[in-house]
Amino acid sequence: KVNGLEFAVADLKLAEAGRHQIRLAEHEMPGLMATRREYADSKPLKGARVAGSLHMTVQTAVLIETLKELGADVRWVSCNIFSTQDEAAAAVVVGPNGTPEQPEGVPVFAWKGETLEEYWWCTDQLFQFGDQGPNMILDDGGDATLLVHKGVEFEAAGAVPEATEDDPHEYRVILSTLKASLAADSKRFTRIAEGIKGVTEETTTGVHRLYEFAKTGELLFPAINVNDSVTKSKFDNKYGCRHSLVDGINRATDTLIGGKVAVVCGYGDVGKGSAESLRGQGARVIITEIDPICALQAAMDGFQVTTLEDVVETADIFVTTTGNFNIITAEHMAKMKHQAIVGNIGHFDNEIDMAGLEKTPGVTKVEIKPQVHEYRFPDGHSIIVLSEGRLLNLGNATGHPSFVMSNSFTNQVMAQIELFTKPGEYGKQVYVLPKHLDEKVARLHLDALGVKLTKLTKEQAAYIGVDVEGPYKPDHYRY
Ligand code: NAI
């Protein structure tokens, strides 16, 4: 704690470097900056205590400071152990007008290269606004929401269950985090959950968790699925990954991608961006899919579609994008070519069976540099694994660039305003933002790209059955 501000970041002296990057990012984030101007006087988030769990990058810094400008009190953690940009975290703690000696920004608990124990300790810090809890969650992947739900579940049961041998390491860490919390205060998360007006969720994987909670009636507060705003998943997941996938591979390996055979597992939004990214570098890209529609899309986009087993011995680069688990197994990796590159860009690290790889007899691990490891197999071949199986675009590079994140984060801010200012209008369900707000987000980004929009005439609007001012498409339209 310095100057009354709690935080845990790598080094506050990095703040100046972070501030320069934030300043440049602000220019590239017209949606967020327009939102700041629009709400400069009304401050719709006054009274909001936002607990944010989302990659602590330069772009997120602009989001955090936007929430603050709209009146919110904010605490922040990263939603991944490798994704923090330490200079951005430092700059957010110091604030635009503070100094490393006198920080006056936002409490951030995040640094690049946390252990899982540290990660869940940080997440636990999110929920302590002095002697109050948060009243809003802004989540990416659902870990903050998960901690509250598990906390409430165990508090109701009166105890945290003992971990079993089969529980993955991360789940054991969650259990011990909650055990300590419950021992100190047996109703902490129950009170916290009662105070929460809602959660806004950033990504496909977190949204999936929310719909599961809603289906079983366990969802404790209203949720807005930000991912499925068109201006989020059809932009960030696709064009964001188109930029940041090869950025991560290049920074990690500096291996020429052109001419190589790259396999992309999954052809959803992230897969589409990833495949285009690799093709843009001249790779020969092969897709694997389980969904016939996405497989057909991949084929018609000009990609070979086959199974991993068919190409595992011949491809040079493997990228998982499925949000599913056990896509690349230890057996697959045992069969790969010498120095094949293996990485994941989906949210969690279980797309590649890292636990199985670590346990494979005779396999040794060499650190080439942080977040780049060579695994040597007894037969002499080795593979290069990026970010220990965690999302490589954030672990090996700096994630998506500002402009695309401005779209995602403008949706986040609108969703926070919706849930915070209209508590009576949302039940314990998962909602998406109305289409007129989605169109507004897009509109805010047109000028910066010099886009000139055609205006409907009244007659044309009547002919296609829409309002001149929009929305222009029915809810079932797919873009
Ligand atoms: P999506 O649902 O659009 O795409 C996933 C695709 O994987 C689907 O088409 C599905 O049919 C396919 N799939 C599932 N199991 C498969 C299997 N066994 N083999 C081959 N294909 C399989 O989801 P989206 O939006 O593309 O997100 C994917 C993941 O990426 C999620 O975990 C999401 O949270 C994450 N994400 C990561 C970002 C990043 O910056 N790294 C950005 C946005 C999302």
Give the pair of three-digit tokens for residue 131. 């002697």
Please spell the DSSP secondary structure of 321-340, one letter per residue: -SS-S-SB-HHHHHHSPTTE
**Which residue carries 């919390």 as its tokens?**
181
Who contacts 341 (Cβ-Cβ below 8 Å, separation ≥6)? 249, 252, 253, 255, 316, 317, 318, 383, 384, 386
CB atoms within 10 A of CB 396: 25
Question: How many whole angstroms from 267 Cα to the centroid of ligand 1?
Answer: 7
Who contacts 194 (Cβ-Cβ below 8 Å, separation ≥6)? none
| pLDDT profile of the chain (479 residues), mean per 10 | 94 98 98 98 98 98 98 98 98 98 98 98 96 97 98 98 92 96 96 98 97 98 98 98 98 98 98 98 98 98 98 98 98 98 97 96 98 98 98 98 98 98 96 97 98 98 98 96
Which residue owns the Cα nearest ligand 1 atom 2?
268
Q: 13, 389 in Cβ contact below 8 A?
A: no
User: Is 78 an annotated catalytic residue?
Assistant: yes
- Provide the whole-model pTM: 0.97
Q: DSSP state, 236?
A: I
User: Is 83 an annotated catalytic residue?
Assistant: yes
| Best probe residue, ligand 1, of 55, 57, 237, 243 (max atoms within 8 Å of C-beta) | 237
Specify the ligand 1 atom closest to the Cα of 204: 34
Q: 285, 342 in Cβ contact below 8 A?
A: no
Q: 433, 226 in Cβ contact below 8 A?
A: yes
Q: What is the residue type of 21?
A: Q
User: Is 55 an annotated catalytic residue?
Assistant: yes
Please spell the DSSP secondary structure of 98-114, one letter per residue: --SSS--S--EE--TT-
Q: 265, 321 in Cβ contact below 8 A?
A: yes
User: Is 425 an annotated catalytic residue?
Assistant: no
Q: How far apart are CA 316 and CA 143, in angstroms?
A: 33
ipTM for the complex?
A: 0.99
User: Is 140 an annotated catalytic residue?
Assistant: yes
Of 21, 53, 83, 281, which residue is the catalytic one? 83
Question: Which residue intervals of 103-168 are DSSP H helices?
Answer: 116-125, 143-157
Q: What is the residue type of 373?
A: H
345 appears as a binding residue in the annotation: yes
Give the pair of three-digit tokens for residue 412. 């986040």
In this prediction, residue 153 carries a pLDDT of 97
In this prediction, residue 236 carries a pLDDT of 98
In this prediction, residue 128 carries a pLDDT of 94
For strands 340-344 and 382-386, give the pairing. parallel
SS3 at position 38: helix
393 appears as a binding residue in the annotation: yes
Of 79, 122, 241, 294, which residue is the catalytic one? 241
Q: What is the residue type of 188?
A: R
Number of H helices, E strands in the chain: 20, 15
Which residues pair with residue 341 across a beta bridge?
317, 384
In this prediction, residue 95 carries a pLDDT of 98
